[in-house]
A and B are shown apart, each in its own frame.
Chain A
Amino acid sequence: MSIDLSWQRVTLLASVIFGIWSGFSSWGEARELVDQSGHIVTLVERPLRIVTVAPSLAEVAGDLLVDELDRIVGVSEHTTFPPALTNRPSIGPFFKLNLERILSLKPDLVLATKDGNSREEVRHLRELKLPVVVVSTSNLGEVSRSMELIGEALGVPDRGKRMSAQFNAGLESLRKRAAARKIALHILIQIGMDPLVVAGGNSFVSDAVSVLGVKNIYQAAEQPYPRPSLEDAVIKSPDVILIVAMSSNVHELQHSEGKKWRSFQRIKAVKDNRIYVLPGDRILRPSLGLLEGLALVERTLFP
């Protein structure tokens, strides 16, 4: 059978192909976005293959895309929220990304964070021509802005704005309750066990906990997560020690860390038996879940 390709047919075929192509290209039209690291990122209108490279980012993106979670195609290790994302292909832990896996997922949007992901790895991803949107969450204002930015990146700016407003409203009501309490507690927020790592004033955790009207004894530290000596912590004698458990084993930590601290009876928190262990996945993640975490801290500190 011979195929007769007359000029008319060729022209018709070409115009049909062009029509389909231009239809597709306008559907996936490119747009530009300035992220929180100051980079201009070119993105498709509605990203369909999203990779999140930190658990908090999966949580925010998951909340914003609650009815279309299949758009998220890869997540970092230890992603726990929303539960539907836990079986997505892993791209490694947030502190050491597996670039091969990320590239093989062919993402049209990679969500990364300045506070956790390595600068060098983010730079490498950008050099591989992947559209990387970086958020910054070193204080509550930035967390709120990051929600809006993620909404814009995902192509759902209104939902992002709503989430940010909900977050700010939640914080405001916590602040009001704190103002009514008028109790000034000095707190040590312990993040790491051996060696001792605490949340300094430049971390969003400290910023968040201070919403409850408490004062971080390491507020003045320059680093977000400094490693003070145990001696220094003993001399500062906080009213409360709040241990944020990175692992899920809260009870075990309550026992082991409690035992360690109890040998320093001159610490006020030890004397008053005010050493608390709380799960980290609600407190250490700059997402809407932080409000739940703060409510939990509030109930614990001011029963």
Chain B
Amino acid sequence: MRPLRLTSGLSAFVLSTLFWLGSFWVALRVGAVSDADFDLVLQLRLPRVILASAVGMGLSVAGATLQALFTNPLCEPYTLGISSGAALGAVIGSALGYDASYSGLAVPAFVGALLFAGVLSVISRRSTSSQLAVLLAGVMLGLLGSSLVAVWMAVSDAQGIQGALIWLMGSLSRARMEGSILSLFGVITLSLLLWRKWRELDAFLLGEEGALALGVSVQQVRTQMILLTSLLVGLCVSGAGMIGFIGLMIPHFVRRFSGSLHLTLLPLCAIWGATSLNLADSLARTAIAPYELPVGVVTALAGAPFFLSILLKRMGRVEG
């Protein structure tokens, strides 16, 4: 293992935090109104920027964790269908009337995420074949979840359709101050709990046998991680719907300068996840004003080509 360079880790951390603060500032400055007064920024933009930071953080940390857990660089909550499970849970929760309070939806969303992640975990243990099988299973689970959301859309009223689109394509417009702060607090807590296991996550990079050889109780750690990741995804999706590819792109981007060790990778992923979703949402809010683009569309426009490029690189490696 590469020795940890503490000073370079720290400077990357400080620099990244500055970028995050910069994105925070940009997101507070831009919007549908050019001369926004203090009240407007405080009431509408600040809750939204805090929620964007929380969700970006949560999705990136979840993405980095899942990539280690399944030893597959293409894994993240969205491609594995876990987000879709959470959205299904949230939609069912909202049909049952849980959406009166912001945090009310986090519980059914967590249950949905956990259910899908559990199924995936079972499949991954059974499949002796390639990593691709797990990914394909994830994509199928994602489709299943989205289709069930669509079924609910078809049978519900016009208002339901509008609501369901937010779940499927992601939107931060539901942000409220209390909910955003709660989300940020929750995401940071869960991320810290995941971060505590950085050694185990590093061991997972060597594969299951490698981790066992290093004395990691693979089954127990995996169960804990899946539970924590599902909580994280449930929290993010209940606040902002399904936002894809943040969990895929950010860990890859951060590994370029921090390396693969989770002691530095996870905190940097958190900061860069927050930064990128802040910027993506600023773009979503302003690109076609007075209309708003779903933020999931913006992240997918950048993320889907990125996914393909990683896939092509890996295929090239296998063939060559």
In the complex, whether A136 has a CB less than 8 A from a CB of chain B is no
Indicate if the CB atoms of B162 and A98 lie closer than 8 Å: no
In the complex, whether A93 has a CB less than 8 A from a CB of chain B is yes
A120 partner residues in chain B, CB cutoff 8 A:
99, 163, 174
Report A12-63 residues with CB < 8 Å from chain B CB.
Answer: none
Indicate if the CB atoms of A95 and B40 lie closer than 8 Å: no
Smallest CB separation, A119 vs chain B (Å): 6
Number of A-B contacts (CB under 8 A): 55
Nearest chain B residue, comparing its CB with the CB of A114: B159
Smallest CB separation, B154 vs chain A (Å): 8
In the complex, whether B32 has a CB less than 8 A from a CB of chain A is yes
In the complex, whether A218 has a CB less than 8 A from a CB of chain B is no
Interface residues on A, range: 20 to 34
Indicate if the CB atoms of B33 and A104 lie closer than 8 Å: yes
**A 60-82 to B, binary, CB cutoff 8 A, 1 in contact else 0:** 00000000000000000100000
Interface residues on B, range: 20 to 34
CA distance A91 to B289 in the complex (A): 10
B40 partner residues in chain A, CB cutoff 8 A:
100, 103-104
B158 partner residues in chain A, CB cutoff 8 A:
223-225
In the complex, whether B263 has a CB less than 8 A from a CB of chain A is no
Indicate if the CB atoms of B291 and A95 lie closer than 8 Å: no
Indicate if the CB atoms of B290 and A90 lie closer than 8 Å: yes
Report B268-299 residues with CB < 8 Å from chain A CB.
Answer: 289-292
CA distance A219 to B158 in the complex (A): 17
In the complex, whether A118 has a CB less than 8 A from a CB of chain B is yes
Smallest CB separation, B172 vs chain A (Å): 12
Indicate if the CB atoms of A103 and B43 lie closer than 8 Å: yes
Majority DSSP secondary structure for residues of A touching B: loop
Smallest CB separation, A76 vs chain B (Å): 10
B262 partner residues in chain A, CB cutoff 8 A:
none
In the complex, whether A128 has a CB less than 8 A from a CB of chain B is yes
CA distance A92 to B32 in the complex (A): 10
Report B26-63 residues with CB < 8 Å from chain A CB.
Answer: 31-33, 35-37, 39-40, 43-45
In the complex, whether B319 has a CB less than 8 A from a CB of chain A is no
Indicate if the CB atoms of A92 and B291 lie closer than 8 Å: yes
Ranked 5 nearest A-B pairs via Cβ = A100-B32, A104-B33, A92-B290, A98-B290, A98-B32
* Interface set of B (CB-CB < 8 Å, partner A): 31-33, 35-37, 39-40, 43-45, 99, 154, 157-159, 162-163, 173-174, 176, 289-292
- Residue contacts A-B, CB under 8 angstroms, 24 given: A77-B290, A92-B292, A96-B162, A96-B291, A98-B292, A99-B173, A100-B33, A100-B36, A101-B290, A103-B39, A104-B36, A118-B162, A119-B159, A120-B99, A120-B163, A124-B174, A127-B176, A128-B43, A128-B44, A223-B157, A223-B158, A224-B157, A225-B158, A227-B154
* Interface set of A (CB-CB < 8 Å, partner B): 77, 90-93, 95-96, 98-101, 103-104, 118-120, 124, 127-128, 223-225, 227
